Structure 1
Amino acid sequence: MEYIQLLSHLKEQGYGYHIYGNSLLDPDLIHARILTEQNHAYSPSTLYLAPARLLPPPDLDNSIILFCLEQSANFQQYETSAFQVAAFEPGISQGEFLNFILDCLTEIQQITSGMHILVNALFSGNGLQYLIDTATNIFGNPIYVIDLQYKYLAMSAGIVPDNIFFQEESATGYISETGIQHITRNNLDEKVQKTNHAYYHYNELIQKGMLIDTVEIQGVGIGHVMMLESEHEFYDFDREFFHRFSKLISMELQKDSSFRRNKGVMYSYFLIDLIKHPKKNTNHIQERLKAMGYNLKETFYIIAIPTVGYSTSDLKMEVILERMKFILSGSIYVIYENTIVFLISRNLNQRFSDYEMNQLENYLNANNLKAGISNFYQNLEDTACFYQQAVSAVLLGIKLSPASSVYYFSDYYLYKMLETLEREDPQIQFLIQPGLMKLYLYDKEHGTDFMDTIIEFLKHPGQPANIADALHIHKNTLLYRMGKIKQITGCDFVEGEEYMNYNLSVKIMKYLHLI
């Protein structure tokens, strides 16, 4: 048993003492014995109850712990000793005192045995649920882990309380509105945070006691672990045991990069849930966000900076995220699978302001970053799909327009279709409109630039002045070139379908880097 923990228990029980000698000792104690005249060897793992006349000489070079219940000794002589003497106040019953210490040692042996099993479960690699189920078997009561957004991350599989309140929450995966109100009304989050051990709370909603402890990553609270006094009453040592178990939960969650990188970030885990579970029923997520004060609007956008979007930057993801939070204020954000993700909620007719976009583009350009923006959508169930849109926008944008910093999926959706098609049929060059391919080959053979002309013509249909300006040629030169183009392609460009076919073919050629 950790010696410091034993002293804490003694103080809680009302035993007063004063420490002499080596105050830095904190051994694991296994045994407790009364020191006798026959003792000639000492063990650092044994606690000795010593009468004053049998205390060893001050120069004994041994890191042992001695408790003395008498006041007749000259304790000052032990101030610089290698061992430690704890002199207790007079009037203590030696028998009761020894029994209390033995009870403490018995409890800690049970804790040590249980922790050994739990540590093995932690390092088994079987995940959080396995760790929770193992702990449930040891404690004999159901255990629950929730994040800061009141979502159940894990709950005991073997023991399910016969309680309608928990049955309803188990079905939704979230603490109910009534439960959140109970937590708020009783200031449970604050009370648990202030204590240095597992906090006991009697829950009137279920008429049972609970032990609650904080789950932390690098000193930042990211959730809570709870044990319900359901199958049997808590043992005296359960509070200390459960507190140690909470540390293992923290270690398990630290393995998950999403928790490690988003510790303490409000709403982040909701966004992770939306991305991880496509088409999931999101009613409960919307209710939780509303209860936590986040006002969802009519439409949503995803902005993403995947690995390729920051791989050439000198900034770390966390630094980028901190700055982006201020540019895209009021958003939900997370680092998911090495991608910085923002969920933006806007009214249907509300677009990104010029100020926001200028701020975003300036920051991205200054730090060699690339971001993708999805199309808008209205159902949170579709978040995973639009997350992929934002990531694809960056991947395609870097391939086709490397000088840009912001890529809108709406500008690249045709290229995404081509990318998908290419997986099934690698010969997509055969889909290029034959007339455009003739024009491309004519340029190659004669050194002309009719392809540049047709591209600008398709960009600005019916606007010869703008086309000529873009090409830096006279209108008459443009008319001549268009005559040749129509002759080579065999197309008069008078129908909308002709414009569509040639535009699509230009996209294919650009995707294949032919132009």
Structure 2
Amino acid sequence: MAKLITILGFLENKPNMKISGTHNPDTIIDEVLFLKENIELSPSTLYLTTTIPKSLLINKNNILIIVNKANEDLLFLQIETTNSIEKIYKLICEFMFIEYKLCVKKLQIYNSLSSCNDINKTLNICESYLNNPIFILDTSYRIIGRSIFANSIKSSIETYNDQAYLLIDTVNLMKKDKCIDNIYSSSTSFFHFSDKSLIFCGIRINNITVAYICILQENREFIEEDLEITNTLSQTLSIQMQKDNLFINSSGLEEEYYLMDLLKNSINNLNYIEERLKNIDFKLNKNIILIVIPFHQTYQDYRHNFGLKQLIVTTKNIFNNCISTYYEDSIILMISKEDDEVFPENTKTRFIDFLKLNNLKAGISFTFQNVLETIEFYKQAAYTLKLAEHLKIEGLLFYFKDYIEYYLFHILQFTDNSIEKIKLHTLIHPLINKLIGIDKKNNSLLLQTLMIYLDNNRNVTLASKNLNIHCSTFFYRYHKIEKLLEISLSNSDILFNFELSLKILRYQKSN
């Protein structure tokens, strides 16, 4: 079966054929016959004739008259051609047979939803029709599915922790050729010809591209029909991914796959992460923090998560250089800046207003530099919220720096593996790490000065004596520490955190 408009479009694309006259384009045609006298007309049959039988006094949408010259006064559908009626009949029958075979292929792909319940098996069915390798990639260029032929292809692909990704050079080439733009802007499949012939098609959920199909011309040349099959595959995969929740189940934002890889430790190569993050509007600067905002979804179905998406968009506008995702019933934000103060006061005020307005709370990690340790600092922010709740502390913002000792008390109560522990070195205060960096760079002794000062109960005379320096030299170093770290060493809370960090350092050194 085929729509009348599709059949007429096929005929009109043939040389020296012109269609005119009124018709219903949505008429479904099951067969084609020659028109005869006294025939009982079927609404799903296309009738061919060279003359109108006298007994037929009214216009019919599914009668096509083959003429050498069209008659404008005739209301019937006409095709102006030099071909015989038999030739037109043969062309239409051949076209309808091709359409029927295409329809069967599409049906088999759709049926895989219930018969296979597996993305790769659906790809294999589609590959049997396209005879070319098929890849499915998420928006961070990670390969999430591939057909049998595609499994044998290793070029343009690299693997980290058993996860396959497109080579950065390939991604850059796709961007240069505007291929990525086309994937996101087009709702249907398209051919892409560069050094290789490819078919691309976005997989869309709620009008957001969450992944895309890439088909490589490897075994046979592409034909127009391949685009139709790819469109069907895209629609089928969209349904399958929603059903299996294979996409990131929140905003559909391109960036969230990158952050999820970091949260799940999928990649352990820093250079590769930095290269990958260049693909999105996020700059990995010197300092990073993670913010965790608990948010329970009202709907598991992606299409209804408008509230969640709006919250994520709002927080991104507050922090600017920020990527986000939804993970373990929380909105996760990664913010990166060159400044030591990643979370300045003016931003903090806006963020608190946002939390208050939406009745939310947020846990904030230490500042860190090594993006490979993202999961550790995620734990910090998440534990901070749990500890604040356990201690019945009211508020909107909770900083891990204020809860380190409570975290240590907390893990003492769990001797088994029921609690996921944070790596000890990540509990060291970021300002202590900064001081270590300054000493290393300038060959100075500021950390040692601070350590001796705290070991001697903050007694300047004893500290100076143990350091074998004059009191004026000690005070020079003391004030230099305050200036470099932008703190006051008379602040007892800061000194308590520093003392704890220095004890961790000493413990690590002894091990």
Q: Measure the CA separation in 1 of the matches of 2:402 and 2:255.
A: 30
How far residue 332 of structure 1 moved from its aligned partner, in angstroms, is 0.6
2:138–2:212 contact (8 Å) kept in structure 1: yes
**2:258 matches 1:261:** no
Q: Measure the CA separation in 2 of the matches of 1:55 and 1:187.
A: 59
**2:36 matches 1:36:** yes
Q: Measure the CA separation in 1 of the matches of 2:339 and 2:115.
A: 49
Structure 1 residues 51 and 396: CA distance shift in structure 2, 3 A? farther
1:20–1:75 contact (8 Å) kept in structure 2: no
**2:285 matches 1:294:** no
Aligned to 2:422: none
Q: Measure the CA separation in 1 of the matches of 2:49 and 2:377.
A: 73
1:144–1:226 contact (8 Å) kept in structure 2: yes
Structure 1 residues 42 and 310: CA distance shift in structure 2, 3 A? closer
Q: Measure the CA separation in 1 of the matches of 2:247 and 2:327.
A: 6
**2:10 matches 1:25:** no
For residue 138 of structure 1, what is the amino acid of its counterpart? Y
Q: Measure the CA separation in 1 of the matches of 2:137 and 2:57.
A: 53
Aligned to 1:9: 10
How far residue 419 of structure 1 moved from its aligned partner, in angstroms, is 4.2
Q: Measure the CA separation in 2 of the matches of 1:187 and 1:8.
A: 30
Q: Measure the CA separation in 2 of the matches of 1:55 and 1:227.
A: 55
**2:284 matches 1:303:** no
How far residue 194 of structure 1 moved from its aligned partner, in angstroms, is 6.4
Counterpart secondary structure, 1:261 = coil
Structure 1, gaps ≥5 residues long = 79-84, 426-460, 463-499, 505-515
Counterparts of 1:169-208 in structure 2 under 5 Å? 173-191=164-182, 197-204=188-195, 208=196
1:309–1:370 contact (8 Å) kept in structure 2: no
How far residue 144 of structure 1 moved from its aligned partner, in angstroms, is 1.3
Aligned to 2:449: none
Aligned to 1:444: none
How far residue 76 of structure 1 moved from its aligned partner, in angstroms, is 6.2
Aligned to 1:439: none
Mark the structure with the bigger radius of gyration.
1
Question: Taking every aligned residue pair, what percent have the same amino acid on both sides?
Answer: 22
Q: Measure the CA separation in 2 of the matches of 1:179 and 1:149.
A: 13
1:289–1:295 contact (8 Å) kept in structure 2: yes
Aligned to 1:381: 372
**2:93 matches 1:102:** yes
Aligned to 2:47: 48
For residue 53 of structure 1, what is the amino acid of its counterpart? I
Structure 1 residues 166 and 407: CA distance shift in structure 2, 3 A? same
Counterpart secondary structure, 1:53 = coil
Q: Measure the CA separation in 2 of the matches of 1:13 and 1:419.
A: 78
Counterpart secondary structure, 2:356 = helix
Structure 1 residues 351 and 177: CA distance shift in structure 2, 3 A? closer
Counterpart secondary structure, 2:166 = coil
Structure 1 residues 103 and 397: CA distance shift in structure 2, 3 A? farther
Structure 1 residues 336 and 13: CA distance shift in structure 2, 3 A? farther
**2:402 matches 1:411:** yes
Q: Measure the CA separation in 1 of the matches of 2:83 and 2:346.
A: 75
Structure 1 residues 122 and 283: CA distance shift in structure 2, 3 A? farther
**2:227 matches 1:239:** yes
How far residue 280 of structure 1 moved from its aligned partner, in angstroms, is 4.5
1:214–1:246 contact (8 Å) kept in structure 2: yes
Structure 1 residues 59 and 403: CA distance shift in structure 2, 3 A? farther
For residue 262 of structure 1, what is the amino acid of its counterpart? S
For 1:119, which of 106, 110, 132 is the aligned residue? Answer: 110
2:47–2:62 contact (8 Å) kept in structure 1: yes
Aligned length: 411
Aligned to 1:358: 349
**2:205 matches 1:217:** yes
1:172–1:284 contact (8 Å) kept in structure 2: no
Counterpart secondary structure, 2:284 = coil
Q: Measure the CA separation in 2 of the matches of 1:157 and 1:423.
A: 47
How far residue 320 of structure 1 moved from its aligned partner, in angstroms, is 1.8
Structure 1 residues 293 and 317: CA distance shift in structure 2, 3 A? closer
2:156–2:170 contact (8 Å) kept in structure 1: no
1:278–1:381 contact (8 Å) kept in structure 2: no
1:144–1:155 contact (8 Å) kept in structure 2: yes
**2:258 matches 1:270:** yes
For residue 65 of structure 1, what is the amino acid of its counterpart? N
- Structure 1 vs Structure 2 CA RMSD: 3.7
Q: Measure the CA separation in 2 of the matches of 1:295 and 1:277.
A: 20
> How high is the TM-score relative to the length of structure 2?
0.69
Structure 1 residues 239 and 319: CA distance shift in structure 2, 3 A? closer
Cα deviation per residue 1:3-28 (whole Å; 9 max; x = unaligned)?
1433443344454312414x36342x
For 2:62, which of 48, 62, 65 is the aligned residue? Answer: 65
2:134–2:216 contact (8 Å) kept in structure 1: yes
Q: Measure the CA separation in 2 of the matches of 1:277 and 1:327.
A: 27
How far residue 48 of structure 1 moved from its aligned partner, in angstroms, is 2.6
1:253–1:259 contact (8 Å) kept in structure 2: no
Aligned to 1:344: 335
Aligned to 2:462: none
Cα deviation per residue 1:275-303 (whole Å; 9 max; x = unaligned)?
23456445433212125463212332211
Q: Measure the CA separation in 1 of the matches of 2:7 and 2:249.
A: 33
Cα deviation per residue 1:137-165 (whole Å; 9 max; x = unaligned)?
33221111223333323222444466x63
Structure 2, gaps ≥5 residues long = 300-305, 417-456, 459-495, 501-511
Structure 1 residues 115 and 11: CA distance shift in structure 2, 3 A? same
> How high is the TM-score relative to the length of structure 1?
0.69
Counterpart secondary structure, 1:52 = coil
How far residue 422 of structure 1 moved from its aligned partner, in angstroms, is 3.7
For residue 112 of structure 2, what is the amino acid of its counterpart? A
Q: Measure the CA separation in 1 of the matches of 2:84 and 2:48.
A: 12
Cα deviation per residue 1:360-385 (whole Å; 9 max; x = unaligned)?
11221233111111223333333233
Q: Measure the CA separation in 2 of the matches of 1:363 and 1:195.
A: 35
Cα deviation per residue 1:413-455 (whole Å; 9 max; x = unaligned)?
4444444444558xxxxxxxxxxxxxxxxxxxxxxxxxxxxxx
For residue 284 of structure 2, what is the amino acid of its counterpart? L
1:278–1:383 contact (8 Å) kept in structure 2: no
Cα deviation per residue 1:256-277 (whole Å; 9 max; x = unaligned)?
37546323x3422211222234
Q: Measure the CA separation in 2 of the matches of 1:416 and 1:126.
A: 43
How far residue 354 of structure 1 moved from its aligned partner, in angstroms, is 0.8
Q: Measure the CA separation in 2 of the matches of 1:181 and 1:128.
A: 27
For 2:388, which of 380, 392, 397 is the aligned residue? Answer: 397
Q: Measure the CA separation in 2 of the matches of 1:219 and 1:55.
A: 53
How far residue 404 of structure 1 moved from its aligned partner, in angstroms, is 0.4
Q: Measure the CA separation in 1 of the matches of 2:192 and 2:364.
A: 46
Counterparts of 1:422-501 in structure 2 under 5 Å? 422-424=413-415
For 2:316, which of 295, 305, 325 is the aligned residue? Answer: 325
